Amino acid sequence: MSGDHASAAIAGQVRHVETLLERRGLLADGEIDRRIDEFLAGGSPANGARIAARAWVDPAFRERLLADANGAIGEVGLSMSGGIQEQRLKVVANSDTEHHVVVCTLCSCYPIALLGPSPTWYKSEAYRSRVVRDPRAVLAEFGLQLPPDTRIAVWDASAESRYMVIPRRPAGTAGLSEVELAGLVTRNGLIGTAAV
């Protein structure tokens, strides 16, 4: 069964369960779609970019972020609550000697509130399996060539835990404001598949 047929079959089953719940009065018509739309409306890569920029300009915030990401993002008005329960967020920071990249090998767990909807490639079986086995080659396919002595750490998200990368601050940005710095940060940089 191809991925498209499998997705269609699962979508059909989900819609069937949703219809049964609506018929029994356990859900209002369209309630699931409304809640998903509300959730996605708040999620944007701009949120993660704000966090990265703050970490670049505020060393104390950076320390709090790396020690307790859920608590630190609350300081900028963000959270990982996303519905039923708060998801654990771990933030990792790239350095001169270490580069981090995020994946969810089981499905596509991802911090939507901070990065917006996940890119198609993040959900692909090719990315999910290959980035664990050969991260350097996968990053090179994204155009990110790391020095041979750079250690690469791959973080595997789960239903309970999400990860976000703080990219290295670009050289020559000392005079930029926090807002200007946030404008340099990309979603791929926050996943770890690109430099900023």
**Residues taking part in catalysis:** 104, 107-109
Q: If you search the block for the tokens 């000392």, which residue do you land on? A: 174
DSSP at 147: -
Burial pattern 101-134, b for ≥16 Cβ within 10 A else e, equals bbbbbeebbbbbbbbbebbeebeeeebbeebeee
Instruction: Say which residues have a Cβ less than 8 Å from residue 97's Cβ, sequence separation at least 6.
Output: 149, 150, 151
Residue 168 has a CB neighbour count (10 Å cut-off) of 15
Give yes or no for a contact between 107 and 7, defined as CB atoms under 8 angstroms apart: no
Give yes or no for a contact between 164 and 189, defined as CB atoms under 8 angstroms apart: no
DSSP at 87: P
